[in-house]
Amino acid sequence: MTQTSSWMRCLQWITMIKQDAGYLSGAEESKGDKIMMELSLDKFEEAYEIVKEVTSETKLIYSDHFSTRTGNKVYLKPENMQLTGAYKLRGAYYKISTLSEEEREKGLITASAGNHAQGVAYAAKCYGVKAVIVMPTTTPLIKVNRTKGYGAEVVLYGDVYDEACAKAYELAEEHGYTFVHPFDDLDVATGQGSIAMEIIKELPLVDYILVPVGGGGLATGVSTLAKLLNPKIKVIGVEPTGANCLQESVRAGKVTTLEQVNTIADGTAVKTPGTTIFPYLKENLDGIITVGDEELVVSFLDMVENHKMIVENSGLLTVAALKHLDVKNKKIVAILSGGNMDVITMSSVVQQGLVLRDRIFSVSVLLPDKPGELSRVADVIAKQNGNVIKLEHNQFVSINRNAAVELRITMEAYGTEHKNQIISSLQQNGYQPKLIRASI
């Protein structure tokens, strides 16, 4: 079956849904059914057309690397390539399009860890209205500066999103601004759902869509539209292990607030998922995967080396989740939600990724304090093609310097196997290398 014929089949699904009177109306609908109807196919189609005015249709990228590693056909949805560096422009622009002139003229305000901030700032600029953005003090500098660059007024407040959001509501009440919620808003979620429309249009037979989850707006839009177009598509939410507010809420059966969040994925460091969108998430997500910070670090390295792309930690959640998905021979789309990452963070993540992949490691060896010993150790390493990048010489490890001084060696290797070869060679030459924390 060709992609075109598959897309035609999806269009047939759309027609059937619109003609389904049981879905669109009925006197015996439950309250839950009425709530779920608020995200309609007509709205998604409208949003899909409107967001085209300011967004790029980010074409899927087939990944040979991740396909080979997982035994599936893996495609990347590069929302990090949007003008504002993330998908958030979709929801912000569509939301503002639904506001009245009076609501826009009051000025807009929102709270965001960065990507929604830039989305609202740019969208407000397009509509010629004022935007005030409250951002956590931990927001990367690149996101703060870019938000200001789009003409928004930035207020830094609180350590996490939830504290910034409370401040934004306070300012909205004080100045009469119109609040644009980053995720707990059905119009915002509808705008984000345009991503699913693009995915299914380009890859109609997609089996799985992996979507990052912070507060849940993106996951709501993508999962709801995917289920409307083809209920067989599995949509999996991915959260940081240290900020798994949706997972805990689903387990509890109600919206739950975490006591604290701890993750390098600052864009998804949210304590409480959206209450308005929670019913959609419970209904339409087929599962939730959590990934740790170390997995995000090595995923960043994978993306840089194999796809030459910069993807921020929150956007890497879906990449890290690929190995947790226990399926084979499936068509999987991983949404890369953003790429706004400051250079300092980038440098730190690359270094830690090299350490975690055994591309950089450190050993401590004891040797007599006499001429030629350092050269001898270096020769052993060189014969194994190890590259020394740092040396630390400690003469005071023992009171008897003639017996032993400590040499700490940090070196580059090709990976775990090469590292083990170097260590084995040192042992065979009479040294007792001890692995220590890599010092870069």
Residue in 49, 29, 13 with CA at minimum distance from that of residue 228: 13
Residues 6 or more apart from 365 whose CB is under 8 A from it? 377, 406, 407, 409, 426, 431, 432, 433, 434
Residue in 289, 284, 368 with CA at minimum distance from that of residue 321: 289
Q: Which of 299, 314, 337, 362 is catalytic?
A: 337
Amino acid making up residue 298 = V
Residue in 363, 381, 370 with CA at minimum distance from that of residue 433: 363
Strand bridging mode 387-394 / 405-412: antiparallel
Known active-site residue 232: no
> How many residues does the structure list for the chain?
440
CA distances for 20 relative to 25, 35, 283, 298, angstroms: 9, 17, 19, 47
Q: Do residues 222 and 196 lie in contact, with contact meaning Cβ atoms separated by under 8 Å?
A: yes
Amino acid making up residue 150 = Y
Q: Which of 43, 73, 77, 88 is catalytic?
A: 88
Q: Do residues 120 and 103 lie in contact, with contact meaning Cβ atoms separated by under 8 Å?
A: no
H or E segment at 413?
none
Known active-site residue 323: no
Q: What are phi and psi of 104, to 5 degrees?
A: -70, -40
Q: What are phi and psi of 248, to 5 degrees?
A: -65, -35
Q: Do residues 243 and 268 lie in contact, with contact meaning Cβ atoms separated by under 8 Å?
A: yes
CB burial of 398-432 (b: ≥16 within 10 Å; e: otherwise) equals eeeeeebbbbbbbbebeeeebbeebbebbeeeebe
| Alpha carbon of residue 47 to chain centroid | 23
So which residues are the catalytic ones?
A: 88, 337
